[in-house]
Amino acid sequence: MTSTAVEAQPDSSMVEVHGIEKYFGHNHVLRGVDLEVHRREAVMIIGRSGSGKTTLLRCINFLEEPTAGWVEVDGLRVDADPLHARSRSHREQIRQLRMRAGMLFQDFNLFPHMTAVQNCIEAPMRVSGLSRAEAVELADRYLARVGLIDKRDEHPSRLSGGQKQRVAIARALCMEPKVLMFDEPTSALDPELIGEVLGVMEDLAHEGTTMVVVTHEMHFAREAADRVIFMDDGLIVEEGPPEQVLNDPHDDRTRQFLRRFLDQDIADEEHSHPTA
Amino acid sequence: MSQSQQAQIAFEAEHPTSIVDRIEAAQDRARLSFRVQFALVWLFIITLILVGLYAGGRIEPGWLAKQAPYILGGIWITILVSVASIALALVLALLGALGRISSNPMVYAVASFYVSLVRGTPLLVQIFIIYFALPQVGLVLPPIPSGIIALGFNYGAYMTEIFRAGIQAVPRGQREAAQALGMPEPHIFRRIVLPQAVRIVIPAVGNEFVAMIKDSSLVSVITVQELLWRARQVGTRDARSIQAFLVAALVYWILTIIFSFFQERLERRMARSER
């Protein structure tokens, strides 16, 4: 691997995003985003819906082909090539990139025709070339880590939303990715199930997993983020340590966004404890 | 223990035969009564037809006993033709569907041409072309293979669209999750999309098979000695067409009922195990 020299420096970058632009038709969704994520860093991206944060995440692993710019994950750089997006060499590069960058989705996307453990071993067996025994061992280890080893033989239909997302996390971990990307991982969950997913994510962050998380959970960002990024209208408007961005934002748009969220939070609290 | 559970226990203590049990019993009675009436009406209609035919002198048990075994012998040909045709149709439909979702213009064009041509012409014409017209260009096929090819091609075109719709009905997120794990495209199709598409299309494919059992009777026109062909032979020869065709109709009906029964069970089992 070419990355051994880089790995020696703990502070070097794991993900580098340069000049990413994305058009949907004539709609300019990302307007030249630069982002660097260091090894062992947990970065949380916040912002209004429509600000481009999900699109940015999907451009990093090329689920959306960027219109311009490039992405580098752990030493592998892939340039946006929208005119030859379907060429074989470009597809293969993207596939290599995706193996380094695990992704979690809002609605989990577990494979419904497979049990939890089958969900976890499919890619390691067919993509990483592990034997079934090796893949199962790996899957059991990560299922245990997300606290679901006793559900290993259940189909997704028999799991709660929170359990599904935790299996999805185990499935992503089984590819031993260099970075985990979360796209609003708790947005589809009932309120009482959010905590178990955030708990697993917080553990991962504390253990030094490199993470990029798009989220609306401000408390979680405050607790678990090393850096918070605020996006608006296809650009990164403000970034910094969570205390600074969340408590003392410099930009007007960040302030506005957070004020609205804070109001909502207070309203929620009053709602959930009517007798307190 | 939640408040509502406590409330229910308190309620049941006060009311020995709870309203819940009484509602359930009433629903059971209504269901049973519905079924009994259903069976009675069917029995009545069938009896009416049989009595009518018998009274009119149209049913002769002696003739039936002698000729029915010959007609019933055609069941096996009917089943053979249906099963072989549906197997051929499944293969063609999978290829056709792959073509219809392909981004390669030539592949897409060929698949679309096949679907358009076959769906735009009558099945009977297709059977005639394969059996009577192909020999003129030197391609002579025996009746049974001709029939299987004609039916398979025809149903393959209809099922192409069923398969295509089934593949496209698999949520996009499934593909994306597999892509995000680094799976190569052929693998994603074979292991993630196709198994889910198959589950989606099973009811529709089952309906096609029921239709196939009935449409297999069309190959009697090219001398395949299946149910209908045999019924017509003896019916015409002995001037007993009503009885002969009645036997054939009854057999088709029973075959489809039996198949539908298994189809329903399969669907129920699939619905239970996944999702």
- Residue A11 is given by DSSP the state T
pLDDT digit string, tens, across residues B150-180: 999 999 999 999 999 999 999 999 999 999 9
State pLDDT tens for residues A49-103.
899 999 999 999 999 999 999 999 999 999 999 998 889 999 999 999 999 999 9
CA gyration radius for chain A? 19
CA distance A57 to chain B (A): 12
The parent domain of residue B31 ranges over 3-55
Q: How far apart are CA B159 and CA B213, in angstroms?
A: 15
Number of domains in chain B: 2
In chain A, the residue whose alpha carbon lies closest to the alpha carbon of B171 is: A109
Q: Are A103 and A181 in contact (CB under 8 A)?
A: yes
Strand A42-46 and strand A211-214: pairing?
parallel
pLDDT at A11: 56
Angle at A72 between CA A26 and CA A51, to 5 degrees: 35
Q: How many CA atoms lie within 13 A of B196 on its CB side?
A: 22
B26 and B137 assigned to the same domain: no
Give the separation between CA A60 and CA A54, rounded to whole angstroms.
10
CB-CB neighbors (< 8 A) of A84 in chain B: none
- Specify the pLDDT at position A8: 45
Q: Can you tell me which residue has the tokens 């069938």?
A: B46
Residues B49 and B131 occupy one common structural domain: no
| Residue of A207, A236, A216, A240 lying closest to A226 (CA atoms) | A240
Residue B65 within any structural domain of the chain: no
Residue B118: inside a domain: yes
Domain membership of residue B61 (yes or no) is no
Question: Which class for A252: exposed (0-12), middle (13-18), buried (19 or more C-beta within 10 A)?
Answer: exposed
Chain segment A188-198, per-residue pLDDT in tens? 999 999 999 99
Task: Tell whether B129 and B254 lie within a shared domain.
Answer: yes
Is B60 inside a domain boundary?
no
Residues B166 and B249 in one domain: yes
**Cβ-defined contact of A102 to B180 (cutoff 8 Å):** yes
Instruction: Indicate whether B107 and B220 sit together in one domain.
Output: yes
Q: Which residue has the tokens 């099922």?
A: B159
Chain B residue with the nearest C-alpha to that of A58? B180
In this structure, are B106 and B155 located in the same domain? yes
B16 and B96 together in one domain: no
Cβ of B177 within 8 Å of Cβ of A110? The answer is yes
Average pLDDT over residues B49-57: 87
* pLDDT tens-digit series, residues A241-260: 999 999 999 999 999 999 88
Dmax (CA) of chain A: 62
B213-262 confidence digits (pLDDT tens): 999 999 999 989 999 999 999 999 999 988 899 999 999 999 999 999 99
Q: Residue A99 and residue B174: Cβ atoms within 8 Å?
A: no
Pairing of strands A211-214, A68-73: unpaired
B177:A102 CB<8 A: no
Query: Is residue B201 in some structural domain?
Result: yes
Residues B147 and B228 in one domain: yes
Using the beta-carbon criterion (under 8 Å), do B176 and A111 form an inter-chain contact? no
CATH number (domain holding residue B235): 1.10.3720.10
| A 67-126 near B (Cβ less than 8 A) | 86, 91, 95-96, 98-99, 101-103, 105, 107, 109-113, 122-123, 126
Whether residues B47 and B166 share a domain: the answer is no
Domain end, chosen from B55, B81, B99, is at: B55
B166 and B234 inside one domain:
yes
CA atoms within 13 A on the CB side of A222: 9
Residue of B nearest to A57 (CA): B180
| Residue A112 vs residues A140, A158, B163, B183: alpha-carbon distances, Å | 19, 10, 19, 17
**Beta sheet of A179-183, edge-to-edge order:** A101-104, A179-183, A211-214, A42-46, A227-232, A235-240
Residue B63 lies inside a defined structural domain of this protein: no
Interface of A with B in 131-190 (CB under 8 A): 155, 157, 168, 171-172, 175
Count of CB contacts below 8 A, A vs B? Answer: 69
Chain A residues in contact with B187 by the CB 8 A cut-off are 126-127
Residue A214: closest CA among A257, A184, A192? A184
CA–CA separation, B197 vs B162, rounded Å? 10
- Among the candidates B55, B79, B96, a domain finishes at B55
Residue B36 burial class via C-beta count within 10 angstroms: exposed 0-12, middle 13-18, buried 19 and up: exposed
- Dist CA A36 CA A226 (whole Å): 13
Assess contact for A123 and A174: CB atoms under 8 A: yes
pTM, two decimal places: 0.82
d(CA A12, CA A36): 10
Is the domain of B159 the same as that of B238? Answer: yes
B264 in a structural domain: yes
Q: Identify all chain B residues contacting A142, using CB atoms and an 8 Å cutoff.
A: none
CA distance B274 to A271: 37
Annotate A43-54 with b (16+ C-beta within 10 A) or e (fewer): bbbbbbeebbbb
In angstroms, what separates the C-alpha of A206 from chain B's closest C-alpha? 24
Residue B62 lies in a domain: no
Give the containing element (helix H, strand E) for A220: helix A218-224
Q: What φ, ψ does residue A15 adopt, rounded to 5°?
A: -125, 135
Confidence (pLDDT) at A2: 41
Rounded Cα gap, residues B255 and B267, in angstroms: 18
B235 shares a domain with B177:
yes
Q: Radius of gyration over alpha carbons of chain B, in Å?
A: 26
User: Can you give the pLDDT at residue B59?
Assistant: 83
Residue whose token pair is 């036997």: B247
